[in-house]
Amino acid sequence: MDTPRTEYRHLPADDERFHQYVRYAFRPTAGPWDEDAREDLRERVEDDELVARENRGLFPAGEADADPVAVAGWHEFETRVRGAFHPLGAVTAAATPPEHRRRGHVRDLLTEMLVEFREADLPLSVLWPFKRSFYRALGWETCSLYDEVETPPEQLRGAGAAPAGEFVPSGPDDWETLAPVLAAHEADRALHVDRTAEWWEKRVFQWWGGEDSFGYRWDDDGGEARAYLVYRFADGDGDDGRTLRVLESAWTDHEAYRHLLRFLGDHDSQVETVEWYCPPDPDARLLDLVEDPSAVTVRTKAGPMVRVVDVVDALSTLDYPTDGTVTVGVTDPVLPANDGTFRLTVEGGEPRCEPTEADPVVTLPMRALSQLVVGFRDATFLAETGAIAAAPTDPAVASLDALFPAEPTLLREGF
């Protein structure tokens, strides 16, 4: 047996090495780790403890005093998948210092983290990728999209609703008022996260412990909150003007959405551009509402990635729209326990998934299975695009479509 070259260990929240590696990886323009960074560390550690992040490191084996060669953190969320909430491990802040790169350390660290997730009964994992192809090779795949809107504010003002109700400044203490708006906005979408009060404060209104953001909600004439925005201002470079950046938004209906447009448009005396990071929403119809659609840029972008951690656990706990049986092969690039054939049987609404020696009717890469599970794609789409090796007319594809129909997804959390 080969001697392990590395060891996977817990890192305390105040371990400077974790924060130093992450700062270098994601904020290199902040400069080297110094006394100012150490002074800032206490507040960041408090933030991490409030949002319940666990930190891990990969160390040279047998070297108790050695520095880690790679680090990463993770959160546990309750996330809605196919109509019910399920536990999920969210990977964050994977980083390696330059002297240890290109040696497979992040792959090894994430593999160990997935093993920990299995032991902690977290059947799914998500992350925001630094390089999509890297995580695809480990079994993760895109699970959500988002829109990036860039527009002059006057286009939004012209598309807005006539004044009604009122806009009210809102902050972290108002999260219980805002949460129902968010829940209504995402009522039909998978991957909605059940947020804590601390998450609202530290990841929505402060956005990673940085400068506080502005928040406003729109209350209708009856005093009911029906929309909200969280945003910041950014000064332009050179001749470019100031920008208003919407970091989060939600609305209960189309009328409420148009009041947000009016609110943003009324900033035309302050900003040259509005940048809006928002969920793709066919009911928004922004380009149909503005006076000059050519002045508005809407880019749809790939969002976070998802991965099944435990095939048996994940498939045995979902809610299914119909009864049925299907036997599938799964190929997992890093977790041998998921690499095999599994029979899924749903009888009377009760699912059961177990390994089997039977021949599979279709074989799914872990990436494709993960998209099926959360509903981002259905089997027909995956067959048409070559993500699974089956014809779209294959009966096995129809069986998978019946059990795993596509549905809207949105994972908006920054972690």
Residue 84, token pair as written in the block: 């019910």
Instruction: Indicate the pLDDT class of residue 221, thresholds 50, 70 and 90.
Output: very high
Percentage of the chain lying above the pLDDT 70 cut? 95
Residue 75 near residue 51 (C-beta atoms within 8 A): yes
- The least confident of 50-64, 190-204, 277-291, 303-317 is 277-291
**Superfamily classification of domain 6-122:** Gcn5-related N-acetyltransferase (GNAT) (3.40.630.30)
Query: How much is the pLDDT for 33?
Result: 85
* pLDDT value at 258 more than 70: yes
Percent of the chain with pLDDT over 90: 83
Confidence of residue 52 (pLDDT cuts 50, 70, 90): confident
pLDDT exceeds 90 at position 63:
no
> Within the chain, which residue ranges are assigned CATH 3.40.630.30?
6-122, 146-302
What's the CA gap between 201 and 197, in Å, rounded?
Answer: 6
Residue written as tokens 């050179």? Answer: 238
Q: List beta partners, residue 147.
A: 278, 300
Q: What is the mean pLDDT of residues 286-301?
A: 95
- pLDDT at residue 311 greater than cutoff 60: yes
pTM of the model: 0.93
Phi-psi region of 337 (alpha: psi -120 to 50; beta: other; left: phi over 0): alpha
Sequence-separated (6 or more) residues with CB below 8 Å from residue 229: 215, 216, 217, 246, 248, 249, 260, 263, 264
Tokens coding 197: 């009060």
Dihedral in degrees, nearest 10, Cα atoms 100, 106, 111, 115:
90
Question: What's the fold here for domain 311-403?
Answer: Nonspecific Lipid-transfer Protein; Chain A (3.30.1050)
Three-class secondary structure of residue 330 per DSSP: strand
Nearest C-alpha neighbor of 364 from the set 328, 393, 326: 328
Contact 128, 304 (CB under 8 A): yes
What does the radius of gyration of the chain's CA atoms come to, in whole angstroms? 23
pLDDT exceeds 80 at position 395:
yes
The CATH superfamily of 146-302 is: Gcn5-related N-acetyltransferase (GNAT) (3.40.630.30)
The per-residue pLDDT for 383 is: 98
Least confident stretch, 239-248, 252-261, 312-321: 239-248
For residue 13, give the amino acid letter. A
**CA triple 142-143-145, angle to 5 deg:** 90
Over residues 76-133, the pLDDT tens digits come to 999 999 999 999 999 999 999 999 999 999 999 999 999 999 999 999 999 999 999 9
pLDDT confidence of residue 212:
72
Work out the pLDDT band at 210, boundaries 50, 70, 90: low
Q: What is the 3-state secondary structure (H, E, C) of 187-224?
A: CCCECCECCCHHHHHHHHHCCCCCCCCEEEEEECCCCC
Residue with token string 């995580």? 135
> pLDDT category, 207, cuts 50, 70, 90?
low
Give residue-wise pLDDT tens across range 191-202.
999 999 999 998
